[in-house]
Chains A and B, each alone.
Chain A
Amino acid sequence: MDDRFLLGGVEFGSRLILGTGGASSLHALEQALLAGGTELVTVALRRVDPSAHAGLLDVLERCGVRLLPNTAGCYTATDAVRTAHLARDAFETDWIKLEVIGDDRTLLPDAVELLRAAERLVGDGFTVLPYTTDDPVLARRLADLGCAAVMPAGSPIGSGLGVSNPHHIRLIREAVRCPVILDAGIGTASDAALAMELGCDAVLLASAVTRAADPVAMATAMRHAVLAGRLAAQAGRIPVRHHALASTPADGLATW
C-alpha cells in the first residue's frame, strides 16, 4: 500500500522518529536505531566535553538517518531561538524540534514562550517541529504560524504514561492539516499503536526504547506498533457496541 509520510517537504518510509537520549552506549543506540527502522533522529546541543568519546554523529551517519536537532533545556523563546540558530550552524539543517519547557517537574511546554519562539523561527526560515501540549487550540495556533508539524505530548517526557487524553489527540488531528506527531510519554508498543490509531501521522519516542531492558527488542516492537496502528487507523474499525453481535450466524443452528 502506498502510504507516504511527507514532513517538511521530505518523504519518509518510516513513521517512527527516535530520540537518542537515554541510551547506555553508542553501540546500544546504533543497534536500537537499526532495529526501529527510523529515518529521523533527534540530537541535542551541549557543551563540548574534551574527555567524552565523540562519535554520535558518526553513528547517525552510519545509520543513514536525517538529523532533527532539538532545543531541549530551553525555558524561554530567546534561548530556544538562539539554540536553534546554533544547531543550524552545527548540523547544517534548518529543521528544529522546538522545545520550550515550562518547569523541570513536568517538562511540559510553556505555551506562551513556545508560540513566540515558533513565530520567530518560522520567520527565520526554519522547518519548525514544535513539541506542544495536547491542547487543540494551541496546536492550531502553531500550525497557523507555519510550523511543519505539531507534536503534542501524550504525557510528560520520560513518564511512560502513554496517551493521557486520547480525545484531545483526535481533536488535534481534526484541527490542523499539517502532520501530527505524538511526542513524549510513550511507554510501550500499545501506546504507539494507539497514537497512530487516533490519527497521528508519526510517533516520536526515546526513553521507551533507550531505557528498556532490551532496547533492540523494544525498538522492533515500536516499529511494528507504528505500522499496525497506521494500518488499523486506515482499515475502518468496527463501531464500539455495548452488547454482543454474534459473528457466527444463527441460521442453520441445530435444534434439540
Chain B
Amino acid sequence: MITILVNDVPRPAERGGTVAELLAGLAVPRRGVAVAVNGEVVRRAEWPEHHLADGDRVEVLTAAQGG
C-alpha cells in the first residue's frame, strides 16, 4: 500500500492504482469533476492511465456556488 494526499487528507491506496480507481473509491459526483496531481491537471481521458505514487498530492474538485 501507498499513502496519497487527497485534498490534504492522507489516504491509503493500492500501489500502482490509477486516478480512475481512486475516484471510484471516493464519494464524488459522477460529473463535473476535475483532478490535479502534484499541481498538474490530469484530464478525464487520462484518469485510467495515470498511476499514483506514494506521497502524491491529489486535488479532486467539483462545482460549487460562486460568483
| Residues in chain B near residue A205, CB distance under 8 A | 67
- Asked if B59 contacts A47 (CB within 8 A), the reply is yes
Q: Nearest-CB distance from A58 to chain B (Å)?
A: 9
> In the complex, what distance in Å separates the CA atom of A72 from the CA atom of B65?
11
Q: Nearest-CB distance from B24 to chain A (Å)?
A: 13
| Residues in chain A near residue B62, CB distance under 8 A | 45-48, 54, 90
| Residues in chain A near residue B43, CB distance under 8 A | 89
Determine chain A's interface SS by DSSP, over half rule. Answer: mixed
Chain A, range 85-109, C-beta contacts under 8 Å to B: 85-87, 89-91
Instruction: Check: A50 CB closer than 8 A to any chain B CB.
Output: yes
How many residue pairs bridge A and B at CB < 8 Å? Answer: 92
Instruction: Check: A177 CB closer than 8 A to any chain B CB.
Output: no
| Residues in chain B near residue A48, CB distance under 8 A | 7, 26-29, 33, 60-62
- Asked if A90 contacts B66 (CB within 8 A), the reply is no
> In the complex, what distance in Å separates the CA atom of A56 from the CA atom of B31?
11
For chain B, the count of residues having a C-beta within 8 Å of the partner chain is 24
- Asked if A86 contacts B61 (CB within 8 A), the reply is yes
| Residues in chain A near residue B7, CB distance under 8 A | 47-48
- Asked if B63 contacts A70 (CB within 8 A), the reply is no
| Residues in chain A near residue B35, CB distance under 8 A | 86, 89
> In the complex, what distance in Å separates the CA atom of A112 from the CA atom of B49?
37
| Residues in chain B near residue A50, CB distance under 8 A | 26-28
> In the complex, what distance in Å separates the CA atom of A86 from the CA atom of B34?
5
Q: Nearest-CB distance from A159 to chain B (Å)?
A: 12
A43-B65 in contact given A85-B41, A86-B36 (Cβ < 8 Å): yes
- Asked if A22 contacts B67 (CB within 8 A), the reply is yes
Chain B, range 12-67, C-beta contacts under 8 Å to A: 26-29, 31-36, 39, 41, 43-44, 59-67
Please, could you name 23 A-B residue pairs with CB atoms under 8 Å apart, sorted by A?
A20-B67, A22-B65, A23-B65, A29-B65, A43-B64, A44-B65, A44-B67, A45-B34, A46-B64, A47-B7, A47-B59, A48-B33, A48-B61, A50-B27, A56-B63, A56-B64, A70-B67, A82-B39, A86-B36, A86-B61, A89-B35, A90-B32, A90-B63
Q: Which residues of B contact A (CB under 8 A)?
A: 7, 26-29, 31-36, 39, 41, 43-44, 59-67
